[in-house]
Amino acid sequence: MIRIDFSNLMQDAVGRNGLTKDDFKNIDTKKITEIIETRKYPELEFLDLHKADTSQIKELGKYASKFENLLLLGIGGSALGPRSILEALSPFHNFKNRPRVFIYDNVDPATLKNILSLVDLKKTVINVITKSGSTAETIASFMIIWKILQEQSLKLEEHVIVTTDPEKGNLRKIVKDYCLMSLQIPHGVGGRYSVLSPVGLLLAEAIGIDSDDMLKGAKDIHDKCMNADLWQNPAYLFSSGLYLMQQLKNKSITVIMPYADRLKSFSEWFCQLWAESLGKNGKGLTPYPSVGTTDQHSQLQLWMEGPEDKVVVFVSIEDYGVDINIPDVFQDMEGLSYLSGHSLGELIRIEQEASEIALAKNGRPSITIKLPKIDAYHLGQLFHFFEISTSVAGFLYGINPFNQPGVEEGKNLTYGMMGKKGYEGKREEFEKYRTRKSFEI
């Protein structure tokens, strides 16, 4: 089970920048618990994902696993979750007898060109993921791949697996019209809360990860995170700790710092979840991705001595699954020989703690999440824990953590310029603003 250490958030450890137990007394856990229990927002359906039947995902995952390549098309929550599973559980994407995975989550033409030069579509299964079924980036790339599949006389129903809403959207219609293989993202589950749905689990199965292990992890942490007692609930403590840090101590940046290369994409997943869920009505917390030890040599200086506006969330790994001893060389060089006799695992663990202590000594707060190891079970726990914590943080701010109204205007202006019917006015607006640019170099 993951464990969470909040001690460096408290005044005892970090002095005037820290919280006292008393600071938590106004956190209305009753209200939060009520929001959750009454399912005030239908999007809280993500809480039930750990109970899902995975048989269809397993069946299609087995089918996908036979291909040489798996090309995933999606963006936002429809790509960040799958990518963090891939990177955490298959670091070099080279499982024996498993597909090579390509995740195309942008409309950068150079990337797609490169992917297409590497994969033979005859030996490729395409998983197109979009909850809404209409996201421009995903649909544009799908249209390109669709055309190539047709040109190569490949059977769409053998090469395409669609993951989308059970009923709504253009993609569901395409599934029906062309009898395509498909999986359903439960209606109430939004993009950034969907990693433990078929969005992430199909890829997991295709690369040989048992999706039930991920769901078991989520299930095992679920009840703890539903406890109405703040001091017994890690998700309530995490979200209210960071919320209070902003309200009382002006710390509005949340740095996420796992000490594992395999969790770099996990950091990006967290950043989307935290940013898109909480950044509303002039409120929110700004996420900042980083990785230890690498960013100790890049960012730590700023966190130690720069503006006092951050809380660092460390993710420490207890067991890396492997270790490498540092050999007995350079014995005549005092400045280097101290490393001999230790291991890389020891060094990285000590460095993580050293950063935590150094920050605390300088009055800079942090939280440490202790991960026993990076496997499907614990990754499932991390995902579920952060999803619950994020939605609870949203409730503390009094905002809806499940929508993203702020991204609509950019989409509408794009629709206008790309000629979508009904958006003609947006084209005019776009052109008007474009000509207002007054300073170019």
Nearer to ligand PA5, 75 or 196 (CB): 75
Nearer to ligand PA5, 184 or 247 (CB): 184
Is 318 annotated in the active site?
Answer: no
Contact 130, 138 (CB under 8 A): yes
Nearer to ligand PA5, 27 or 47 (CB): 47
Nearer to ligand PA5, 195 or 209 (CB): 195
- For the chain, give the number of residues: 441
For 110, phi then psi, to 5°, come to: -65, -35
Q: Which residue matches tokens 């939280």?
A: 367
Catalytic member of 21, 25, 96, 297 = 297
Is 411 annotated in the active site?
Answer: yes
How far apart are the C-alpha atoms of 211 and 193, rounded to whole Å? 16
> What type of residue sits at position 176?
K
Nearer to ligand PA5, 254 or 299 (CB): 254
Nearer to ligand PA5, 132 or 400 (CB): 132
Nearer to ligand PA5, 75 or 86 (CB): 75
Contact 288, 254 (CB under 8 A): yes
Closest C-alpha among 255, 265, 217 to residue 8: 255
Burial per residue of 43-62, b for 16 or more beta-carbon CB atoms within 10 angstroms, e otherwise: bbbbbebbebebeebbebbe
How far apart are the C-alpha atoms of 202 and 171, rounded to whole Å? 18
Nearer to ligand PA5, 130 or 211 (CB): 130
Q: Are strands 286-289 and 366-373 parallel, antiparallel or unpaired?
A: unpaired
Q: Which residue matches tokens 């710390």?
A: 251
Least gap, CB of 136 to ligand PA5 (angstroms): 9
Closest residue to ligand PA5 in the complex (CB): 191
Is 297 annotated in the active site?
Answer: yes
The residues pairing with 317 across neighbouring beta strands, listed in sequence order, are: 371
Burial class (CB in 10 A: 0-12, 13-18, 19+), 390: buried
Closest C-alpha among 413, 416, 363, 418 to residue 9: 363
Catalytic member of 43, 137, 268, 276 = 276
Contact 137, 106 (CB under 8 A): yes
Q: Which residue matches tokens 């995740």?
A: 103
Contact 182, 175 (CB under 8 A): yes
Greatest Cα pair distance, the chain, in angstroms, is 76
Residues that bind ligand PA5 (CB under 6 A): 75-78, 130-132, 135, 138, 190-192, 276, 404
Alpha-carbon dihedral sign for residues 384, 386, 390, 396: positive
Half-sphere exposure for 414 (CA within 13 Å, toward CB): 8
Q: In 234-324, at which residue ranges do the beta strands (DSSP E only) sit? A: 253-258, 286-289, 310-319
- How many other CB atoms sit within 10 Å of the CB of residue 400? 17
Catalytically active residues are 276, 297, 411
